[in-house]
């Protein structure tokens, strides 16, 4: 259930006896479904007026269960439909009024992308977004996107559109930027990703060139499995390196 703008969950003072949560607790609840969400993201949505937590007398944010549900709806609309914040606000207001809301087609689910196909023609096409939608999804400016592209972190296709993975990259680059990591710092990650992709390509290239459609389908499945293993290894190596350096 979405809260109404005139309900008791708007800006105000938190009182004892109410089941309210700190921003850290909210983050913990949301990360089960949205592992990339950050405290900075929640604060940004608050600054944009999309959620209005209460405040303790000392100024700490306190979120109600309705606030958490509203945040989850916002994040789903961004993740699944790439909607800009203005449109999300309009949809939420319509839902509060009891109106029916028609959302655009949802992006392909990961389960579909991980499936094997009999031939390349049967492979579903990933959702694509325009430049404006990418900027809205990443909450970035034109100048920031231009800089990301200049450093090779993102690239549009011939029609000026971006695929769903580009949206993910843009969001992550934007989140890292809030910690002071600039595009020039991220070139090393881009270079590492390209080297890892090259290793995967060496393994699957002979399979992709095969005439048998089933063998080519196996190449696609192998590519995804190798990519997932490479990502897990990369994450484990980073965690190990940080553990060594921080202890």
pLDDT digits (tens, 9 = 90+) for 156-181: 888 888 988 888 899 999 989 888 88
Position 220 scores a pLDDT of: 79
Nearest-angstrom CA–CA distance, 184 and 147: 9
| Radius of gyration (C-alpha) of the chain in whole angstroms | 21
CA angle 184, 133, 72 (to 5 degrees): 95
Domain ranges across the chain = 23-97, 110-246
Domain 23-97 fold is Multidrug-efflux Transporter Regulator; Chain: A; Domain 2 (1.10.1660)
Q: Is the pTM of this model over 0.85?
A: no
Question: Which two three-digit tokens encode residue 86?
Answer: 């203005």
Q: How far is CA 34 from CA 30, 41, 69, in A?
A: 6, 11, 13
Residue listed under structure tokens 């977004």:
129
Residue 106 has pLDDT above 80, yes or no: no
Nearest-angstrom CA–CA distance, 28 and 31: 5
The DSSP H or E segment spanning 163 is strand 162-163
Q: Are 139 and 48 in contact (CB under 8 A)?
A: no
Question: Which two three-digit tokens encode residue 174?
Answer: 């934007």
User: Residues 133, 134, 137, 139: is their CA dihedral positive or negative?
Assistant: negative
Residue listed under structure tokens 């944009």:
48
pLDDT tens digits for 64-97? Answer: 999 999 999 999 888 887 777 888 888 888 888 8
pLDDT (average), residues 1-14 = 42
Burial of 130 (0-12, 13-18, 19+ CB in 10 A): middle
pLDDT (average), residues 21-31 = 91
């Amino acid at each position: 259930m979405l809260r109404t703008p005139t309900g008791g969950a708007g800006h105000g003072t938190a009182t004892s006896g109410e089941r309210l949560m700190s921003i850290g607790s909210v983050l913990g609840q949301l990360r089960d479904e949205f592992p990339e969400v950050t405290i900075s993201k929640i604060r940004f949505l608050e600054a944009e007026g999309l959620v209005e937590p209460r405040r303790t007398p000392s100024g700490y944010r306190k979120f109600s269960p309705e606030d958490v549900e509203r945040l989850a709806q916002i994040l789903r609309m961004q993740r699944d439909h790439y909607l800009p914040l203005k449109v999300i606000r309009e949809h939420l207001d319509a839902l509060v009024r009891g109106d029916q809301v028609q959302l655009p087609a949802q992006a392909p689910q990961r389960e579909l992308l991980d499936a094997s196909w009999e031939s390349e023609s049967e492979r579903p096409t990933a959702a694509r977004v325009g430049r404006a939608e990418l900027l809205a999804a990443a909450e970035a400016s034109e100048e920031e996107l231009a800089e990301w592209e200049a450093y090779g972190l993102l690239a549009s296709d011939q029609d000026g559109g971006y695929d769903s993975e580009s949206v993910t990259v843009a969001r992550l680059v934007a989140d890292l930027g809030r910690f002071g990591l600039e595009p020039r710092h991220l070139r090393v990650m881009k270079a590492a990703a390209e080297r890892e992709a090259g290793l995967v390509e060496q393994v699957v290239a002979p399979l992709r060139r095969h005439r048998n459609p089933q063998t080519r389908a196996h190449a696609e499945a192998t590519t995804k499995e190798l990519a997932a293993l490479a990502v897990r290894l990369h994450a484990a190596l980073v965690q190990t390196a940080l553990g060594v350096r921080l202890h």
